[in-house]
């Protein structure tokens, strides 16, 4: 399998605090790789660095050999790296379908002025976006809610909508920050299935998640962070047997890493 | 608003008939020619307010439109007086000058949000006034006066618009000019908001972080919206200067900037035509309260507060609730 994303020696300081400390790893094509670690370990910060929401203090991230860190979020998105947010992040006053349609922005062939004039290209774009949005909503089981205003959705569906928005950008690698947070067991299992299906469609997925049983079930490999440093990397069974990891989760280790 | 196509066309036709036929007819029958001036002002102020509304639409509270109206007025006046330009050319020039200035100003300040952006724009109006006082070209506190009325506008020898100075009724001419521009301005706004651009603006208003994560160049879109907004401000100021044939540093002040914003609030931030209705109601409301003498400001402010409490989504939200019930 080819290397898709390469994180090399990336560090992020906030004043005196080193949130991410010299972390390196790579993600292969069509892989599901999870980043785990205790609260405050630097997982969300790592995601923000990869998606260019933050500028690294040192180090860089490359996608298929091309540097994508230290740019701007919309440029990283254009290159194919798209992140969903830890907080439920949607356009809350738009309909569910409009949320997904607007997220097709990167695929538009018409210019802003073209959309203003309503040119043929603009109309073709609109039609294509609508159709693709309907497909994505069906894939995520949101079809029946297409015309709801997004803020009225129950929590589990909001998460799904967040992912639908990410998918609409047609990324080559999707970064999901705690997609199962706040979900009950059934919802989580449904979402795990969903993420697998996305991978079968050719997507590479990078995941931050606390729900250990789900993570162990879904991931090909894991990277473990503690206090900003990478302390382990490997398959679920390797990680479950790793002493450093068990130590990092000390106190609730058995339950936390699903031994 | 989602009226069906026929209703929409009927509404537009009715509106055009009212402003272009019914109003002039009623005014000439009743002999209340002063109403032309009032309605012209409403039309021009609603253009400036439409600009403010657009900045609201991308999630920014803009209390600085007075700065662009003032700038537009001066650009037109200076080009006419010092450089002999035709008024008709100065109109787009004033708009473009303001748009260009707003790009330079907007690039740094549009990163600010909420009350921070609002405060900076408020200061902007004051800066514009002080600049007009200080710069040699604007002639200080004396302002620029005796600006000639707009001349004829001819294209390829065909006179499209006659010289305003030769007209018996230049007030009607200014009214028609202002109303025409208002119609064009709101047609542009309607199209903007109902095209994909409107959705993009809403995405900025609702969540800038998410918008940029789906690939929207938020800085660019913000600047574009602000430039269009300032263009409208500049054009409206330029016509004001032409009507009053003068422009002073105090022609547009912080009060005007605040009023532009209030017009939007009153009409409804969710409705393209909100600023038009808001301007009309506020302008006439203020005039009607003139009878109450020294209580005018008190009653006016009180009513504004009550309206905002009762109708937080503006007057046009009334129409929507009625339709939903019906
Ligand atoms: N913008 C910021 N400014 C200062 N400190 C921050 C910022 N963002 C995160 N941090 C700090 O960096 C550390 C890592 O945070 P985060 O990446 O959110 O952890 P995780 O997602 O693993 O829980 C925490 O100590 C957090 O307080
Ligand atoms: Mg986090």
Both B10 and B70 in one domain: the answer is no
Q: What is the pLDDT of residue B82?
A: 93
State residue B4's pLDDT score: 81
Contact B215 A77 (CB under 8 A): yes
Counted domains in chain A = 1
- Whether B172 and B262 share a structural domain: yes
Task: Work out the average pLDDT over B82-98.
Answer: 95
- Average pLDDT (B256-272) is 92
Q: What is the pLDDT of residue A257?
A: 52
| Å from CA of A12 to ligand 2 middle | 15
Calpha distance B161→B150 (Å, rounded): 9
A52 in any annotated domain: yes
B22 and B41 housed in the same domain: no
Residue with the bigger pLDDT between A60 and A257: it is: A60
Q: Does the CB atom of residue A42 touch ligand 1 within 6 A?
A: yes
Count other C-beta atoms under 10 Å from residue B255's C-beta.
Answer: 11
Provide the domain limits for residue A192: 3-80+171-257
Task: Give dist(CA B212, CA A53) in Å, integer.
Answer: 9
Check whether residue B156 and residue B14 sit in a common domain: no
* Statement to judge: residues B14 and B64 lie in one domain: no
Q: B11 with B109, same domain? A: no
N- to C-terminal Cα separation, chain B: 15
Ligand closest to CA A42: 1
Helix spans in chain A (H): 43-50, 73-79, 96-102, 112-117, 120-139, 155-168, 185-200, 212-218, 236-240, 243-248, 253-256
- B48 with B25, same domain? no
**Average pLDDT value over all residues in chain B:** 91
Q: ipTM score here?
A: 0.81
Model pLDDT, residue B187: 96
* pLDDT(B324) > 70: no
The answer to whether B213 contacts chain A (CB < 8 Å) is: yes
Is residue A123 within 8 angstroms of chain B, CB to CB? no
The pLDDT tens digits of the residues spanning B141-151 come to 899 998 998 98
> According to the model, what pLDDT value does residue A250 have?
56
CATH for B243: 1.10.3470
Number of domains in chain B: 2
Q: Is the pLDDT of residue B326 over 80?
A: no
The answer to whether position A233 is within a domain reads: yes
Is the pLDDT assigned to residue A1 strictly greater than 60? no
| CB of A169 closer than 8 Å to CB of A78 | no
Q: What is the pLDDT of residue A219?
A: 94
Q: Mark whether B59 and B28 lie in a shared domain.
A: no
pLDDT, average across residues B88-114? 95
Contact A175, A50 (CB under 8 A): yes
> Whose Cα sits closest to atom 2 in ligand 1?
A14
| CA distance readout (Å), A149 to A97, A154, A160 | 9, 11, 14
Residues B140 and B19 in one domain: no
Best mutation target, B211, B215, B220, B270, to test chain A (most A CBs within 10 A): B215
Identify which of A12, A14, A210 to mutate to test ligand 1's pocket (most ligand atoms within 8 A of the CB). Answer: A14
A37 lines ligand 1 (CB under 6 A): yes
Inter-residue contact B63 to B122 (CB < 8 Å): yes
Q: Which residue of B has its CA nearest to A80?
A: B215
Residue A167, Cβ density class (10 Å: 0-12 exposed, 13-18 middle, ≥19 buried): buried
Contact flag A90-B210 (C-beta cutoff 8 Å): yes
Neighbouring C-beta atoms of residue A47, cutoff 10 Å: 25
Average pLDDT over residues A217-237: 93
pLDDT digits (tens, 9 = 90+) for A98-114: 999 999 998 889 998 99
Kindly state whether residues B77 and B25 are assigned to the same domain: no
Same domain, B181 and B314: yes
Residue B282's domain spans which residues? Answer: 33-325
Alpha-helix runs per DSSP H in chain B:
5-17, 23-30, 34-57, 65-83, 87-109, 114-134, 170-194, 196-206, 208-213, 218-244, 254-267, 274-288, 296-310, 316-325
pLDDT number for residue B325: 59
Residue A259 has pLDDT above 50, yes or no: no
User: Which of A82-86, B18-22, B282-286 is least confident?
Assistant: A82-86
Res. A249: pLDDT tops 80: no
Q: Probe ligand 1: pick from A17, A36, A37, A207, max atoms within 8 Å of CB?
A: A17
Highest mean pLDDT among A82-86, A166-170, B31-35, B126-130 belongs to B126-130
In a domain, A247, yes or no: yes
pLDDT in tens, B206-225: 999 899 989 999 999 999 99
B288/B306 Cα distance (integer angstroms)? 18
One domain, residues B16 and B37: no
Domain at A243, CATH number: 3.40.50.300
- Residue A41 Cβ < 6 Å to ligand 1: yes
The pLDDT value given to residue A253: 46
With respect to residue A94, please indicate whether it lies within any of the assigned structural domains. Answer: no
Burial of B197 (0-12, 13-18, 19+ CB in 10 A): buried
Across the A:B interface, residue pairs with CB atoms under 8 Å apart total 84
Question: Quick check: B59 pLDDT over 60?
Answer: yes
Please name the residue whose Cα sits nearest to atom 18 of ligand 1.
A44
Whether residue A132 is contained in a domain is answered as: no
């Amino acid at each position: 399998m080819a290397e898709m994303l390469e994180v090399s020696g990336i560090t992020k300081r906030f004043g005196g605090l080193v949130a991410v400390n010299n972390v390196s790893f790579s993600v292969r094509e069509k892989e599901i790789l999870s980043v785990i670690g205790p609260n405050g370990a630097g997982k969300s910060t790592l995601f923000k660095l990869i998606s260019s929401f933050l500028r690294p203090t040192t180090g860089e991230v490359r996608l298929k050999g091309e540097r994508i860190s230290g740019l701007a979020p919309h440029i990283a998105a254009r290159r194919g790296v798209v992140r969903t947010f830890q907080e439920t992040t949607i356009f809350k006053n738009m309909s569910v379908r409009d949320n997904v349609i607007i997220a097709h922005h990167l695929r538009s062939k018409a210019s802003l002025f073209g959309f203003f004039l309503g040119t043929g290209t603009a109309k073709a774009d609109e039609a294509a976006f609508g159709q693709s949005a309907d497909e994505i909503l069906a894939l995520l089981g949101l079809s029946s809610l297409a015309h709801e205003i997004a803020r009225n959705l129950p929590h589990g569906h909001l998460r799904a909508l967040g992912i639908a928005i990410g998918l609409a950008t047609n990324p080559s690698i999707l970064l999901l920050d705690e997609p199962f947070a706040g979900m009950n067991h059934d919802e989580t299992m449904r979402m795990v299935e969903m993420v697998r299906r996305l991978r079968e469609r050719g997507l590479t997925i990078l995941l931050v998640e606390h729900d250990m049983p789900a993570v162990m079930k879904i991931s090909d490999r894991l990277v473990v962070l503690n206090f900003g440093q990478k302390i382990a990397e490997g398959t679920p069974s390797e990680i479950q047997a790793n002493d450093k990891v068990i130590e990092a989760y000390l106190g609730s280790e058995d339950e936390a890493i699903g031994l | 608003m989602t009226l069906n196509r026929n209703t929409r066309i009927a509404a537009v036709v009715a509106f055009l008939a009212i402003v272009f036929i019914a109003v002039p007819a009623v005014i000439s029958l009743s002999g209340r020619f002063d109403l032309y001036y009032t309605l012209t002002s409403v039309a021009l102020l609603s253009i400036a307010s439409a600009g403010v509304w657009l900045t609201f639409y991308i999630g920014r509270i803009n209390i600085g439109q007075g700065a662009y109206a003032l700038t537009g007025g001066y650009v037109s006046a200076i080009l006419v007086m010092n450089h002999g330009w035709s008024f008709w050319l100065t109109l787009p020039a004033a708009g473009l000058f303001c748009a260009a200035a707003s790009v330079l100003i907007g690039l740094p300040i549009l990163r600010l949000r909420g009350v921070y952006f609002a405060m900076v724009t408020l200061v902007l109006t004051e800066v514009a006034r002080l600049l007009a006082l200080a710069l040699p070209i604007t002639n200080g506190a004396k302002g620029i006066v005796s600006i000639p009325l707009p001349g004829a506008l001819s294209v390829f020898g065909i006179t499209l618009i006659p010289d305003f100075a030769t007209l018996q009724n230049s007030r009607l001419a200014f009214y028609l000019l202002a109303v025409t521009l208002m119609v064009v301005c709101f047609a542009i706004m309607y199209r903007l908001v109902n095209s994909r651009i409107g959705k993009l603006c809403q995405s900025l208003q609702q969540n800038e972080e998410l918008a940029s994560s789906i690939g929207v160049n938020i800085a660019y879109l913000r600047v574009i919206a602000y430039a269009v907004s300032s263009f409208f401000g500049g054009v409206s100021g330029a016509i004001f200067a032409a009507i009053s044939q003068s422009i002073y540093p105090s022609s547009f002040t912080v009060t005007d900037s605040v009023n532009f914003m209030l017009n939007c609030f009153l009409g409804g931030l969710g409705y393209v035509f909100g600023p038009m209705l808001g301007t009309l109601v506020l302008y006439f409301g203020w005039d009607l309260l003139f009878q109450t003498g020294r209580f005018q400001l008190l009653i006016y402010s009180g009513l504004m507060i009550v309206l905002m409490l009762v109708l937080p989504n503006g007057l046009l939200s009334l129409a929507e609730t009625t339709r939903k019930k019906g």
